[in-house]
Amino acid sequence: MKQLKIGIVGAGRIGNVHAQSITYAIPEASVVMVTDVIEENARKLAERFGIPKYSADYMDIIRDPEIDAVLVCSPTPTHADISIAAMKAGKHVFCEKPVHTSIEKILEVQKVAEETGRKLQIGFNRRFDHNHSQVQRLARDGRLGNVEIIKITSRDPEPPSPEYAASSGGLYIDMMIHDFDMAMFLAGSDVEEVYAMGTSLVDPRIGEAGDVDTAIVTLTFKNGALGVIDNSRRAAYGYDQRVEVFGSLGMAADENDGDSTVRLSTVDGVVSDKPQFFFLERYMASFTEEMRQFIHAVNTDGEVPVGIHAGLMSVVLAKAAKLSLDEHRPVKVSEIYGG
């Protein structure tokens, strides 16, 4: 069995998640170097997972001939350039989302991928979730007939700080980007038009910072289906992650995962578990699965399950949503890209 040699750029939370998956659950690969601009973070991650090399400079990974593939887990503004450098150096790339906030930059990444023929997978981990992927499978396999309505509920347990909200690019690109990708994944279609509503009900300071914390966006898909996504930055009961696909033959919908199936019946009612708290608990298995499939695609020279098109269109939709909110009108996707 080929053992893929991997370098991780960025030793933050998501870098740790991927290192953990590879170290403990994917025998077909091993992490051989990690870098972080804060070298101490790289050192800690390396030590935690027994990774032989670490550094403060991601170019140490790019230049290392032993390394086959690079996981780009650094801050968003650096995703594109690091991905480009890695591919040009002959390495396959797994890039966290969003690829970039500039369409042009994403297109540049796409061009380099095409020119170098390197594998390039974008980190939309929710596609690999055991619940959502099963809904998609039923839709894809025709069990629901012609897909007519897509509904996605996605609510975080706790709002970010107003400072973070202000610097994040806003809810549509920071949070709903996952749901835009999920919507296209479930519908099996790109989107034609977007209409966005958004308001600040959770924390007025988020509104003052120019962002929204509560949002509903509707979608018209190219295949004729309609869709709706609702987001909130704060759900008192935990991380609310549900999708529903409705078609001519039926509906597939999932429920949140709790920590157990136990129901406690008392004089006060019948109590079940809340949704698991946040994405590290809820989506850990999906992070492992996306990494397993990336490594498998590289090792077998197969197709990556989430390509640059998904990275591009999710950002396009986020921009269309923002424009819709700002101009208070439905926005054609072609106004942003491809028109």
C-beta closer to its own copies: residue 109 or 291: 291
| CA 206/CA 109 separation, integer angstroms | 32
90 closest CA partner among 55, 66, 74: 66
- Least separation, in Å, of the C-beta of 246 and its own copies? 7
186 closest CA partner among 124, 138, 153: 138
Q: Which residues between 191 and 250 bind its own copies (CB under 8 A)? A: 195, 197, 199, 201-202, 214-216, 218, 220, 224-228, 230, 232, 234-238, 240, 246, 248-250
Q: What is the contact mask toward its own copies in residues 247 to 266, using x (rule: CB under 8 A)?
A: -xxxxxxxxxxxxxxxxxxx
Which of 143, 161, 208, 326 is close enough to bind its own copies by CB under 8 A? Answer: 143
Angle at 15 between CA 12 and CA 20, to 5 degrees: 125
| CA 170/CA 162 separation, integer angstroms | 11
- Least separation, in Å, of the C-beta of 183 and its own copies? 13
- Least separation, in Å, of the C-beta of 43 and its own copies? 17
Question: What secondary structure letter does DSSP report for 324?
Answer: H
- Least separation, in Å, of the C-beta of 50 and its own copies? 9
Q: Determine, following the binding rule CB under 8 A, whether residue 148 of this chain makes contact with its own copies.
A: yes
| CA 114/CA 95 separation, integer angstroms | 15
- Residue 284: what are its φ and ψ, rounded to 5°? -55, -45
| CA 270/CA 249 separation, integer angstroms | 33
* Site residues, its own copies (CB under 8 A): 24-25, 130-131, 134-135, 138, 143, 145-146, 148-149, 151, 153, 155, 195, 197, 199, 201-202, 214-216, 218, 220, 224-228, 230, 232, 234-238, 240, 246, 248-275, 328-330
